[in-house]
Structure 1
Amino acid sequence: MPKISYWKKGKGQALVLLPGFCETKEMWEDFVGPLLTSCEVWCPDLPGFGSSDAYKSDFTISDIGKKIALWMLTNNIGNASLIGHSLGGYLALEMAKLPNLNLRGLGLFHSTAYPDSEEKKVNREKTEEFVNKHGVSKFISSSLPLLFKRENRDRCKEDIDQLIAHAIQLPKDSIVKYLKAMRDRNDNRETFAAFPKPKLMICGVEDTAVTLDDSLTHKKFVDQFCQLSDCGHMGMFEQKEKAQAAICDFMESLKT
């Protein structure tokens, strides 16, 4: 299998945090502090991103989910909770279908169980064209700040700069393959509704990538729903303390 690069910190119940599209494991380093007294936190790079090995051929979201699941099993990360940001949430939903993982809890962080709409599929294809024409650096520099609410961009400038610094190093081939995989991913609304263990959802009121209206349709299926005001798609930076508290509360609830 492709080598998965990761870091882990803390002691306690296992928690795996999955990054999103064009994100790397470093994004979680300053976020996990409050979790480390009661959780063993694992943060991998997705295959083809960061320091993890890339696929040579095309892949599906299901393929990547199975690879991360194998990484978890290989590292004896058992009975873990799985929380994914954006693309990471799509992967978490695929992994929730795998009985051998025996997940303890599942969380969507600015993510959705819906497939891409036809409009979104067209936008993925336009993004692919942009990346191929203009390159990774211009794509990342122009698109990544847009994930933050406009009014939060100055306050989060250091975070944005660090995210860009990591993302511009990602291979164009991997970015294009993930765009295609996200475009063609499964509809996992039934998977999410039927998942029998506790579920968490964190959403941003001002998120333009996963709208609040979309997120609210998931509310009836979750045990804990956290709605972050004054927040776009990057709650771990825009509303750091509230997002930390939501995950800490969720993990604490799993102890009972």
Structure 2
Amino acid sequence: MLLNYKSSSFYYTRQGNGNALVLLHGFLENQTMWEPFISQLSDNHTVITIDLPGHGKSDCLGYIHTMEQMAEVVEAVLVKESITEANFIGHSMGGYVALAFAERYPKKCSGIVLVNSTTKADSPERKKNRDRAIALVKKHKEAFLSMAIANLFAEENREKFATAIRESKQTALEMPVQGIIAALEGMKIRKDRTYILKQFSKPKQIIAGTKDPIIPFDKIKNLAIECKCSFQSLIGGHMSTIENRDELLNIMYFIE
């Protein structure tokens, strides 16, 4: 289905019946990443998946896609579908968007699961890495994607999931350079939303990979304690949706 919003088109799907569950993909991914999960999730939920701006079949909004702008697109989808409240599961960047949504539309967010994600803003070093990534994307998109995607997996899993890595690279190669850069810029300037998760009084959960090369495990575990979240760990890297797919389904909140 298509949403027309701010002179741009955004693709989304709706499946199943029951309480609404919004699944938000990460950077360089799109809503198809959730396909292995939907058959089970849609048994008891109205499942909404969305191609965030610049990803999948969705248009770009501009040079920078802030987490707030992405949250506004999510809200526009929910309004179109007459959904007044939903639970959110966000992978990586999708978690940043879920937190932005919870801040802007608190009454519409009934629960949050962060998968391989964090409430924290980018560190100065991380911001410099984003700038280097942007420079590389402009010169050689394929080289950036080849390096970036493989590095998301735990080192010992890269051979095991070689096919999934190739498929993820192909998905990312279909993205326009503008979409990649806009997301990098948006993540670079996102604010710390730890206070949002701290004060969130509804169900909240953090799921982390023990060998996540992007978000250090100890830091995310401490964050869960700080924010009084349910916490689950999985043996793997940043791509728990692939590396630990079956386990992930069994431990996520909202799964009945």
Counterpart pick for 2:185 among 160, 173, 180: 180
Q: Secondary structure at the match of 2:180?
A: helix
Counterpart pick for 1:110 among 95, 116, 137: 116
> CA-to-partner distance for each residue in 1:175-195, whole Å, 9 max, x for gaps?
111111111111101011111
How do 1:1-256 and structure 2 match up within 5 A?
1=5, 2-99=8-105, 102-135=108-141, 137-220=142-225, 221-229=227-235, 231-247=236-252, 250-252=253-255
Q: Secondary structure at the match of 2:125?
A: helix
Moved more, 207-216 or 158-167: 158-167
Cα drift, residue 171 of structure 1: 0.5
Aligned residues: 249
Cα drift, residue 57 of structure 1: 4.3
Q: Are the equivalent residues in 1 in contact too, given 2:26–2:92 (CA < 8 A)?
A: yes
Structure 1 residue ranges (4+ consecutive) displaced by more than 4 angstroms after TM superposition: none
Q: Are the equivalent residues in 1 in contact too, given 2:64–2:181 (CA < 8 A)?
A: no
Q: 1:100 to 1:202 in 2, by over 3 A?
A: closer
Q: Tell me, in whole angstroms, the C-alpha distance in 1 between the residues paired with 2:255 and 2:31.
A: 23
Higher strand share: 2
Amino acid at match of 1:211: P
Q: Are the equivalent residues in 2 in contact too, given 1:202–1:227 (CA < 8 A)?
A: yes
Q: Tell me, in whole angstroms, the C-alpha distance in 1 between the residues paired with 2:117 and 2:200.
A: 16
Q: Secondary structure at the match of 2:23?
A: strand
Amino acid at match of 2:234: L
The two structures have a TM-score, normalised by structure 1, of 0.92
Cα drift, residue 99 of structure 1: 3.3
Moved more, 214-223 or 18-27: 214-223
> CA-to-partner distance for each residue in 1:55-93, whole Å, 9 max, x for gaps?
134342212212221222222223210111111111111
Q: 1:223 to 1:189 in 2, by over 3 A?
A: closer
RMSD: 1.6
Q: Are the equivalent residues in 2 in contact too, given 1:105–1:199 (CA < 8 A)?
A: yes
Q: 1:192 to 1:207 in 2, by over 3 A?
A: same
Moved more, 176-185 or 33-42: 33-42
Q: Secondary structure at the match of 2:9?
A: coil
Q: Secondary structure at the match of 1:147?
A: coil
Cα drift, residue 222 of structure 1: 4.2
> CA-to-partner distance for each residue in 1:1-48, whole Å, 9 max, x for gaps?
132201232222211110111111111111333322212211110011
Q: Are the equivalent residues in 1 in contact too, given 2:62–2:182 (CA < 8 A)?
A: no
Q: Secondary structure at the match of 1:201?
A: strand
Unaligned runs of 5+ in 1: none
